[in-house]
């Protein structure tokens, strides 16, 4: 009987340590974000239109010439904040191209923009948006 209790205690300890080191732990640190386009965006005209959205989300640009944005905090919170800002700006650009000086200047209907994220060595796609409105809008 003592052996059964000892074995049960060992199993419980192993299971408990497995749960403690599972992916349920929060990831905190520095996160990098970048907008990628699947078409020729001469001089990053479209990509630069996302800058104010990232600033409003609390991100810092790594350098004036870089297209990478930085945010520090908890992974899920950072990703959600930047993803929401990206998607809102993409929809706004799609619906109001003339407001951004893009009407007729850049044919983006049907083109896709992607928000890439990086945490340490892990790179992942956070969101994508495909432009749907006519280019002359």
Across 99-103, average pLDDT: 81
Across 86-110, average pLDDT: 88
- The single residue listed with the structure tokens 């919170």 is 77
HSE-CB of 129 using CA atoms within 13 angstroms: 24
Q: Which two tokens stand for residue 116?
A: 């890439």
Alpha helical stretches, state H, 27-70:
45-48, 51-56
How much is the pLDDT for 54? Answer: 95
**What is this structure's pTM?**
0.78
With left for phi above 0 and alpha for psi between -120 and 50, is residue 120 left, alpha or beta?
left
Handedness of CA 37, 84, 33, 56 (dihedral sign): positive
- For the cut 60, the answer to whether the pLDDT of residue 95 exceeds it is yes
Strand partners, 73: 29
Q: Which two tokens stand for residue 108?
A: 């983006």
- For the cut 80, the answer to whether the pLDDT of residue 10 exceeds it is no
How much is the pLDDT for 16? Answer: 56
pLDDT tens, 66-81?
A: 889 999 999 999 999 9
Please, are residues 116 and 65 in contact by the beta-carbon 8 Å criterion? no
Q: Which two tokens stand for residue 17?
A: 């340590």
- For the cut 60, the answer to whether the pLDDT of residue 12 exceeds it is no
With left for phi above 0 and alpha for psi between -120 and 50, is residue 38 left, alpha or beta?
alpha
How much is the pLDDT for 107? Answer: 84
pLDDT tens, 116-137?
A: 999 989 999 999 999 998 877 6
Q: Where are the beta strands (DSSP E) in 1-42?
A: 28-37
Share of the chain above pLDDT 70, in %: 82
How would residue 4 be classed by pLDDT, with cut points 50, 70 and 90?
low
């Amino acid at each position: 009987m003592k052996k059964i209790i000892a074995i049960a205690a060992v199993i419980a300890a192993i299971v408990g340590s497995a749960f403690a080191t599972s992916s349920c732990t929060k990831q905190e640190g520095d996160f990098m974000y970048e907008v990628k386009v699947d078409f020729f965006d001469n001089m990053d005209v479209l990509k630069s239109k996302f800058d104010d959205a990232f600033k409003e989300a609390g991100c810092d640009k790594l350098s004036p010439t870089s297209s990478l944005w930085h945010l520090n905090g908890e992974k899920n919170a950072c990703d959600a904040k930047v993803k929401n800002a990206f998607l809102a700006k993409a929809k706004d650009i799609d619906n109001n191209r003339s407001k951004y000086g893009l009407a007729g200047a850049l044919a983006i209907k049907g083109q896709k923009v992607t928000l890439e994220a990086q945490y340490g060595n892990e790179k992942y796609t956070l969101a994508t948006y495909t432009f749907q409105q006519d280019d002359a809008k």
